[in-house]
Structure formats: structure tokens, C-alpha cells
A and B are shown apart, each in its own frame.
Chain A
Amino acid sequence: MRRRTTALAGALTLLTATGCGAADMTKQASPFANAQGSKTVTLSVQSWVGAQADVAVAQYLLEHKLGYRVDTVQVDEVPAWDALSQGRVDALLEDWGHPDQENRYVHDKRTIAPGGGLGVTGHIGWYVPTYLVKQHPDITDWRNLNKYASLFRTAESGGKGQLMDGSPSYVTNDRALVKNLQLDYRVVFAGSEAAQITQIKQFAKDKKPFLTYWYAPQWLFKKVPMTEVRLPPYKEGCDADAAKVACAYPHTPLQKYLNAGFVRHGGRAAAFLKKFRWTTEDQNEVSLMIAEQKLDPAEAARKWVDSHPAVWKRWLS
């Protein structure tokens, strides 16, 4: 039965496709969207828990208050821009700043529309655990890092100190920073945020010293208190040349982006996603429930929604 349907659908597709001429690849929604006459919104989820919290709450409200069916797809930020422009996902709720993509899709092609700010300001930096700062108060200045390099040595860092970096999808200048600031460190890539968090927790359990690339807002700070290491201050444009960066990371107000067609025809869902705006504390509350208490994202979202009606009622109006 299934085979025949597939064959039939395939034949029909070919017929309609040849009949209509060009098949525009840039306008193809996900095959799982809008199934069975239900209105579907497809949200892209990024790998970090903050982004999962955004999506969980948006999904919960879309499903329970607006009657949509929501599909989520895990895509990293840069590919998500591409998927967004093709309409395979409808919204990207947490972007950490990609000027190239913005130029291409928002300004030139106009296939993506800005969705306003998320209300959360992100910041990337180097962090050491606070218990280590208590032993060595001067460790939070980059000029003193070389003095402590031996503390951070691991099997992977080959005689130097280990600076642990996370997922390949994250914005990072760390290799250039280590080189340009002449630090006796080696950047070890954990390869995914999951691996990085697991490792940080294991280090913290034994009160071992570690130095890591990390970012705020992030729920892990509540479990493992960490202090930022001061890098040379950020100035506008000091990170323009990727090879010559020798300054800290900026503070970035996180942005939402929507597919342009979705903004026009997405009805209440699109209007809601544009209005979605919450605080760092709100986001952390949900993140912590998902990542630490291991609540199902939907369950965590329900708890938050039940206890903060004033916040989300504004988004639906």
C-alpha cells in the first residue's frame, strides 16, 4: 500500500514539476510540516541549552495556547540561516551574531526577516572555577595565566596548559588569542557542548583546576560557580581580522530571525514569535530545569509558563 502511494506521489510530482517549469529549491518547506491539515511551525534548535529553553517555551505556547503543531530540528546557527532562507525551518530564536549571513539573506536576498531581540545579552569569555580563584586570586588576569599553566596540564594538552573549547559551531577566536597573547596554552576542542559540560562537572567534583571557553547566560554557573578571566578589553573592530585578534569577546544582544514568507503568511504564530522576549533569569530558570533536573523540555516549559503568566500573556496579545 505504502509503495503504491509513494510511486503515485512520485509520478504526480514529476508531472506537476514538469508542467510548472522551474522547481525553485529555495522555497521548499520540510516534508513533515503542516501534516494532516494542522498548522505547523518548524523551529530550529541550536545545541546549547539556552536555545533549547527558548524553543521549549515557544513550542509549549504555540501548541497549547495557539493550537499549532510544532516540529523542532537541531541545526547549528550557520546552516540554520540557510535552512531558514529555504523555508525548511520557520524561525531561529537565538543568534549570536553572523554579519555575513545577515548581509546575504536579510539585505540582499530578503528571504529572511529580522525577528527582533530575544531580550538576552550573550557574552563569551574564558572562565576558571571560583574555588580556584580562592586559592590563587591573581589568576583572573590573562597576564598571570602563563604562571599557572602547569596547573591546567592534561593528557591532551601536551605539556602546555589546557584551554578547553567547546562545540565547533561556536564563535571562537581562542587559537588566535593564545598565539597573539603568547600564552603557554593549547586549545583542546571538546567537540560538543555536551562533552564540555560533562568534563567541567567531572573537574568540579574533584575540585581540579581548569580553564575553559564558556559563555553567559548559562545555567551551569549555578552548579559550578566560575569567574571570568580578564582579557585585553574589547574595542569596536578589534576582532575584525580573525588572525590578529588580541582582545576579549563583545557583549552581544541575541537576535531572532524568521523566514520572510513565514512572517507574511504565518499568522498568529509569526506575530507571537516576533513578540517573544524574555530575560536572562527566565531563560536560565528553564535551562536549569532541562539540563540539570533532566526535565523533559515540554515539562520544564509548562512549569515556567504556569508560574509566569504576566510575561507570556504580553506575547500573545
Chain B
Amino acid sequence: MATLTVPTSRTGTPRVLRSRAAGKLLLLAVLAAVLAPWAATHWPGAAWPHELTVSLTKPLATAGDWVMDNRDSHPLFLYFFGYISNAVIWAVRAVYLTLLAAGWAGVTAFGALTAWRLGGARLAAGTAAAVLACGALGMWVPTMQTLALMVVAVLASVAVGTVLGLGAGLSDRLDRALRPVLDTMQVLPAFAYLLPVVLVFGIGVPAAVLATVVYAAPPMARLTSLGLRGADPEVLEAVESLGSTARQRLLTARVPLARKELLLGLNQTIMMALSMAVIAAVIGAGGLGDRVYQALASVDVGAALAAGIPIVLLAVVLDRVTGAAGAGTPATGRPRTIGRPYALAVTVAAAFAARLLGALDWPSGWTLAIAGPVNRAVDWMTSHLYSGVPVIGGTADWAGHFTTWVLDPVRDGLQWLPWWSVLLVVAALAWLIGTWRTALTAVLAMAAIGVLGVWEPSLDTLSQVLAAVAVTLVLGFATGIAAARSDRVERVLRPVLDVCQTMPQFVYLIPVVALFGVGRAPAVAAAVVYALPAVVRITAQGLRQVDEAALESARSLGATGRQQLWQVQLPLARRSLLLAVNQGVVLVLAVVIIGGLVGGGALGYDVAFGLAQGDLATGLVAGAAIVCLGLMLDRVTQPTERHARKGA
């Protein structure tokens, strides 16, 4: 998942803020004093009262059965979903066959020449190397399957996103209506989407593509709308004065002016589609994600890595290529590239050459077996670190201590709190950091969890998220500060962060179990690894963008390095730090859920259970609770500034 970039702005005057905050808290306290005794007497006990729950088990099970029984006969499926599903299958198949027909030589040539055209010779060489590496790892066919799925999913996402974005960019009313929907879609962990699409489309590629589109379209829509709204009014006025129609204005002025945002949207969409294409392996999407998932099943870190590396390479290449397309405009000094017809001719020639030589498929002798050495390394690590390390204790002991001393108290504490007080805390936090609207959304989301009847497992998941976020923030801020203060540290960190962010989450799961045993601790560890890069990046970026003049004046007053950091840089980068917290929370939640596969239990396990057993009632309710939890956590940590920026 790619990070968001934030322009830092000056903070408001703290005193005003503080008095406003006090007012909000006072109001909430009054509300609590009135409502709490009433709630406590009506529904004693800490857990969500049973009378206020709605059981969806029966209707969901009935709905599931109905779908299964009518999928081959009901018009809704024959004339609507059937077409969608058919179209997806045909499109994916067409792309897949094209890729196979081009052969490895053709695909490599096409990739390299496209990169050359958009970003110059260095990018082309990198692209060719990356594509060839996928083959060398013995992953040619799965890579092509993933690519085929990605091409279709990204095109569909871009189409959907652009249409929504155009609407939102041109109509204020539609923009207001869409904004919360898009916000919400981006916050939700991908894992929770899978069950509903599987219910309708069954296991396989159509479900995977549709889940991917739902997940990947929002950034495109948002950035399209942002780009259209950000168009320079003077240019628009000039175009208007030439007497052009609204449609001409849109096509000749507003869309070209929004080029940068559109390409950034494409970039974000590709990244999200790739991460989803991997998670969709759980519902039979095939391709690289499936190889990682199968390796996970046989506890084979080496094989998982062999399938994970092509995913990382694809992500890096696609990111750089779309990035280059967005950065360069033809006028400014771009490196010399080649013409389009020329590139096409070379691609076709390469494909034919390979075909004539009879080497269309990746030659089976040209593979590197990395699985063996990787597994030996992991075995060594786990057998030496797991237990019995003198003085500091093995990783298993740490995990045990972390569970007993951190996870258990947090969980028990949350579950001990009366339900209405949890709602109050949520309201207070969300209101302090946002507006009354965000507070209301957060409280309603939390209440919905109670109504669904999954209060306790949700608090269990919440406790894991809180613990993981705390660890992530401590490590992330420390690393981010180091990266902001030293260019060398940043240079060394960048590739590591790239890899951590793009490596599919499944790859982390086995090593963390080998190190920390089964339970909630490994789920937390995997989440920390995954969320750390975003926090480090945003922190470092925020600190580096702090106004140089402010730092200079602090230096002239004789402030030490530490004083500069604590009294100037950190307060001025407050917005970025808040955003880092927000991103950390959202990313941690996404992985803690997958941690259900290594003993994390709670909601993640319930979703996995629902998928594995076709048990809609358990799976969908848990999925809905995850969605509510994500919404609540996002609102509680969402800096108000994000709203202001989106309105731009």
C-alpha cells in the first residue's frame, strides 16, 4: 500500500484549541452524568446488553442457501451477475492468452520498451531485469496470471473511479454524497470484502476481480475529483472566454490540467489492486498470491518468498513506471526515449523470435532455487532464537511476556469497562481530534458492533490493534526521526521500507509463528512489520518539511539538537505525526485480521472460518464488525486537516 503525502501546515494556536477541547469534554461529561446511571441500572454488567443485539444468523443462512439454490436458475443471476462474471472471465482470459502468446521475450520487451518510453533507459533496464527475475524464480506462469488479473482489475477500477471522480469533480452535491463513501471504502480491511463477493460469484477469478475493483477504485475517484477541482481558475476562465461548450472545457482544459492527479490515481489504484490480488488468493484467484498461500500451508518460507519476490518486483516496477509517467511532461528535459511504433515493432519481433526458436514458455532449466537456502536460514534463526538464549531469553519468552503483560491486561481492561463507557471514550477521542460528525460516526460504528452481537471478540481484536499500534509508533517515530536527521540512514532504509510495504502479508506469517509461537503475539508482530514503513515515511517526511526558518531561528537562539527536535520540529510536524498514527492504525488492523490465521483469534478467525466453512452468518457478521472497527479507529485518529485538504 502506498503512503499518502502530506503538505504540513502551521498548527492553530494551542490555547484556543485547549479551551475548545475542554468545552467538548465538559459537554460529554454532562451527557455521561445523565445517561450513564440510567444505562447502568437498565443493563448491568460490562458486556453489551443482550437485549440490544440483533441476531442475523437465521436470515443470513437463509440468504446463503437461496443464492446457492438459485444461482443456476433465477433471472437476477442469469441476466445480471452472470454477464458480469462472464465478461470478467473473458477479459482475464483474453489478456492471459495475449501474454502467453507474446511469450517471455515479448512480455519482457514490451515492459522494457514501455518503461523506456516513459522513464528512460535506466528504468527500462530495471524493468527488464525485474520481469526476467520473475521467470528465473520459476514463477513465469503465475506471474502472467496475476498480471492478467491485474490488468483487467485496474482497467475496471480506473473506469469506475474516473466516472465517479468526474461526477464528484463536476457536481458539488455528488461530491458531498460520495466523499464519506469513498473515505469508508479506503479504510476497510480488504479481508472483510471477500465473503460477500464469494457468496454471489463463487470461488474464483470473477469474485477476485470484483473485490479488487471495490478496493482499488476509490483512490482513482478521489484523485480525479481532486484534479478537476484543482484546475487553475484563470485558465478555465480563459477557455470559457473563447466561447467553448462545457464539454469542450472539460476535455480540452480540465482533464489535461488534472493529468498529474489522474496518473497519481492510477498509481495508487495499481498498488492497491496488487495487494488485493494477493489477498484474493484466499478465494481462489490463482497466480502469485495462490503460490504464497500454498507455501504458507506447507510451512515453506522459501517457497513463499520465491512467490513473494515477483510481487514486490511487480509493485516496484509498476510504481516507478507510473511515477515516471506522472512526473515527466514532454516539454521539460526528459531523457531521450524511443518512438511508439518503433517500440511496438521491437516487441512483436521479440515475440516472434522466441516463437520461432520454440521458447515461448520460460525455459525450465533457467530457474534459481532460492527456497532451500532461505529455509535453512529460517530454520537456523528459529532454532537458535526461539528459546534458551542466555540472559535476554528466547523470542518465545518475549512473546509469552508480551501476551501476559500487555495483551491480556489491555483486553481484560477493555472487556471490563462497561459498554457505555467505551462508547463515551470513543466519542471523546473522536470529538477532540475531529468534528462532532466524526464523533457521531465513530460512536455509531462502535454501537453497531454491539448490536451485531460480537462485542467481546471485537474488543479482543481492538486490544491487539492498540498494542500493535503502540509498538509501531514507538519504533516508527524513532526510526522516522533518525531518517529525517540523516540522509544516509534514509538512503539505507528506503529499499527496506519498499520491500516491507509491498511484500504480501502472508509471507510474514510463518516466520513470526516460528519465532513467537501460536497466538496473538505473532499476529501483532506481523502487523508491526507491515505498518512500520508507512509510519516511518510519513514521520520522516513531516519532519523534513518543517519550515527551515523556524529551525534556523531556534538554532540562532542556541538550541541543542535535542531541543530543536522536541520544541520545534515535533510540534510543527504535528499534523504529519497524527496522519502517521492514522495510517498506522488502519494498516495494523488490516494485518491483525489476517493474524487470525496464526492464532490471533477474534474477528479475523471468524472471517477465515466463514470463508473456509461457507458459514455466512459467522463470516459476514465478523466482516461487518471489522468494517465498523476500521471506521471507528479511523475516525478516532483522523486529523481534521484531512477534511480540509480533500475539499480543495
Decide: A168 and B86 in contact? CB cutoff 8 A: no
A155-B403, A191-B600 are contacts. A13–B90 as well, Cβ < 8 Å?
yes
A14 to B372, CA, bound (A): 47
B302 interface hit (Cβ, 8 Å): yes
Q: Which residues of A contact B399 (CB under 8 A)?
A: 155
A168-B605, A198-B510 are contacts. A31–B89 as well, Cβ < 8 Å?
yes
Query: Which candidate, B265-273, B283-291, B312-320, is the interface stretch facing chain A?
Result: B283-291
Decide: A109 and B387 in contact? CB cutoff 8 A: no
Decide: A2 and B597 in contact? CB cutoff 8 A: no
Query: B163 to nearest A CB, angstroms?
Result: 16
A2-B98, A9-B91 are contacts. A188–B83 as well, Cβ < 8 Å?
no
Decide: B599 and A74 in contact? CB cutoff 8 A: no
A23 interface hit (Cβ, 8 Å): yes
Decide: B387 and A25 in contact? CB cutoff 8 A: no
A25-B72, A195-B513 are contacts. A80–B83 as well, Cβ < 8 Å?
no
Query: Which candidate, A44-52, A142-150, A263-271, is the interface stretch facing chain B?
Result: A44-52
A28-B89, A294-B371 are contacts. A88–B204 as well, Cβ < 8 Å?
yes
User: Which A residues from 263 to 301 make CB contacts under 8 A with B?
Assistant: 290-291, 294, 296
Decide: A195 and B372 in contact? CB cutoff 8 A: no
Decide: B294 and A202 in contact? CB cutoff 8 A: no
User: Which B residues from 367 to 385 make CB contacts under 8 A with A?
Assistant: 371-372, 375, 382-383
B238 interface hit (Cβ, 8 Å): no
A79-B284, A189-B599 are contacts. A35–B198 as well, Cβ < 8 Å?
no
Decide: B95 and A52 in contact? CB cutoff 8 A: no
Q: Which residues of B contact A240 (CB under 8 A)?
A: none
Decide: A30 and B290 in contact? CB cutoff 8 A: no
Decide: B614 and A78 in contact? CB cutoff 8 A: yes
Decide: B90 and A195 in contact? CB cutoff 8 A: no
Decide: B612 and A168 in contact? CB cutoff 8 A: yes
Q: Which residues of B contact A104 (CB under 8 A)?
A: 68-69
A158 to B604, CA, bound (A): 20
Query: Which candidate, B38-46, B74-82, B126-134, is the interface stretch facing chain A?
Result: B74-82
A35 to B400, CA, bound (A): 50
How would residues 399 to 429 of chain B score, 1 for a CB under 8 Å from any chain A CB and 0 otherwise?
1100110001000000000000000000000
Q: Which residues of B contact A311 (CB under 8 A)?
A: none
Decide: A191 and B598 in contact? CB cutoff 8 A: yes
A156 to B600, CA, bound (A): 10
A1-B344, A74-B293 are contacts. A79–B198 as well, Cβ < 8 Å?
yes
Select from chain A the residue with minimum beta-carbon distance to B200.
A25
- B91, B148, B371: which contacts A13 (Cβ < 8 A)? B91
Select from chain B the residue with minimum beta-carbon distance to A4.
B98
Q: Which of A73, A86, A193, A296 has the most CB of B within 10 A?
A: A73
Dominant secondary structure of chain B at its interface with chain A: helix
A5-B95, A164-B518 are contacts. A79–B382 as well, Cβ < 8 Å?
no
User: Which B residues from 588 to 646 make CB contacts under 8 A with A?
Assistant: 595-601, 604-605, 608-609, 611-614
- B91, B514, B519: which contacts A155 (Cβ < 8 A)? B519
Query: B467 to nearest A CB, angstroms?
Result: 13
Q: Which of A6, A32, A83 has the most CB of B within 10 A?
A: A32
Q: Which residues of A contact B513 (CB under 8 A)?
A: 194-195, 198-199
Query: B88 to nearest A CB, angstroms?
Result: 8
How would residues 502 to 518 of chain B score, 1 for a CB under 8 Å from any chain A CB and 0 otherwise?
00000001100110011
Q: Which residues of A contact B600 (CB under 8 A)?
A: 191
Q: Which residues of B contact A89 (CB under 8 A)?
A: 284
Decide: A14 and B605 in contact? CB cutoff 8 A: no
User: Which A residues from 75 to 116 make CB contacts under 8 A with B?
Assistant: 75-80, 82-83, 86, 88-89, 104, 109
A72 to B298, CA, bound (A): 15
Select from chain A the residue with minimum beta-carbon distance to B304.
A194
Decide: A12 and B403 in contact? CB cutoff 8 A: no
Query: B72 to nearest A CB, angstroms?
Result: 4
- A32, A71, A156: which contacts B518 (Cβ < 8 A)? A156
Q: Which residues of B contact A206 (CB under 8 A)?
A: 387-388
Query: B546 to nearest A CB, angstroms?
Result: 42
Query: B507 to nearest A CB, angstroms?
Result: 12
Decide: B203 and A88 in contact? CB cutoff 8 A: yes
Q: Which of A75, A195, A205, A290 has the most CB of B within 10 A?
A: A195
Decide: A169 and B72 in contact? CB cutoff 8 A: no
Decide: B94 and A9 in contact? CB cutoff 8 A: yes
Decide: B608 and A168 in contact? CB cutoff 8 A: yes
A17 to B78, CA, bound (A): 10
How would residues 20 to 55 of chain A score, 1 for a CB under 8 Å from any chain B CB and 0 otherwise?
001111101111100110000000010111001000
Interface size for B (C-beta < 8 A) is 95
Decide: A1 and B202 in contact? CB cutoff 8 A: no
A156 to B79, CA, bound (A): 50
A311 to B387, CA, bound (A): 45
Q: Which residues of A contact B290 (CB under 8 A)?
A: 72-74
Decide: A194 and B509 in contact? CB cutoff 8 A: yes
User: Which B residues from 494 to 537 make CB contacts under 8 A with A?
Assistant: 509-510, 513-514, 517-522
B300 interface hit (Cβ, 8 Å): yes
How would residues 130 to 154 of chain A score, 1 for a CB under 8 Å from any chain B CB and 0 otherwise?
0000000000000000000000001
A22 to B78, CA, bound (A): 5
Q: Which of B87, B145, B595 has the most CB of A within 10 A?
A: B87
How would residues 120 to 156 of chain B score, 1 for a CB under 8 Å from any chain A CB and 0 otherwise?
0000000000000000000000000100100110010
Q: Which residues of A contact B300 (CB under 8 A)?
A: 291, 294
A155-B519, A191-B599 are contacts. A6–B614 as well, Cβ < 8 Å?
no
A194 to B597, CA, bound (A): 9
Query: B118 to nearest A CB, angstroms?
Result: 15
B544 interface hit (Cβ, 8 Å): no
A305 interface hit (Cβ, 8 Å): no
Decide: B201 and A25 in contact? CB cutoff 8 A: yes
A156 to B400, CA, bound (A): 8
Decide: A156 and B203 in contact? CB cutoff 8 A: no
Q: Which of A2, A12, A29, A47 has the most CB of B within 10 A?
A: A2
A190 interface hit (Cβ, 8 Å): yes
B446 interface hit (Cβ, 8 Å): no
A167 interface hit (Cβ, 8 Å): yes
Query: A200 to nearest B CB, angstroms?
Result: 9
B236 interface hit (Cβ, 8 Å): no
How would residues 57 to 73 of chain B score, 1 for a CB under 8 Å from any chain A CB and 0 otherwise?
00000000000110110
Q: Which residues of A contact B400 (CB under 8 A)?
A: 154-155
Q: Which residues of B contact A23 (CB under 8 A)?
A: 78-79, 82-83, 85-86
How would residues 85 to 115 of chain B score, 1 for a CB under 8 Å from any chain A CB and 0 otherwise?
1111111111111111100000000100000
User: Which A residues from 186 to 212 make CB contacts under 8 A with B?
Assistant: 188-199, 202, 205-206
A28 to B201, CA, bound (A): 10
Decide: B81 and A25 in contact? CB cutoff 8 A: yes
A83 to B388, CA, bound (A): 47
Q: Which residues of A contact B204 (CB under 8 A)?
A: 28, 30, 73, 83, 86, 88
A44 to B605, CA, bound (A): 22
Decide: B387 and A2 in contact? CB cutoff 8 A: no
A182 to B375, CA, bound (A): 42
B281 interface hit (Cβ, 8 Å): yes
Decide: B203 and A80 in contact? CB cutoff 8 A: yes
Query: B115 to nearest A CB, angstroms?
Result: 15
A5 to B98, CA, bound (A): 8
How would residues 47 to 75 of chain A score, 1 for a CB under 8 Å from any chain B CB and 0 otherwise?
11100100000000000000000011111
Q: Which residues of A contact B550 (CB under 8 A)?
A: none
Top 9 A-B residue pairs of the complex, sorted by shortest distance between their CB atoms: A23-B82, A169-B612, A9-B94, A168-B609, A31-B93, A155-B403, A22-B78, A26-B72, A13-B90
Pairs across A and B, CB under 8 Å, 23 listed: A5-B94, A6-B151, A10-B87, A10-B91, A14-B87, A17-B83, A17-B87, A25-B85, A31-B89, A32-B96, A35-B100, A36-B101, A86-B202, A88-B205, A155-B403, A155-B519, A156-B519, A188-B518, A191-B601, A192-B296, A294-B300, A294-B302, A296-B371
**7 extra interface residue pairs, beta carbon distance < 8 Å, beyond A30-B286, A77-B612, A156-B518:** A9-B95, A14-B83, A25-B82, A52-B298, A79-B611, A79-B612, A156-B519
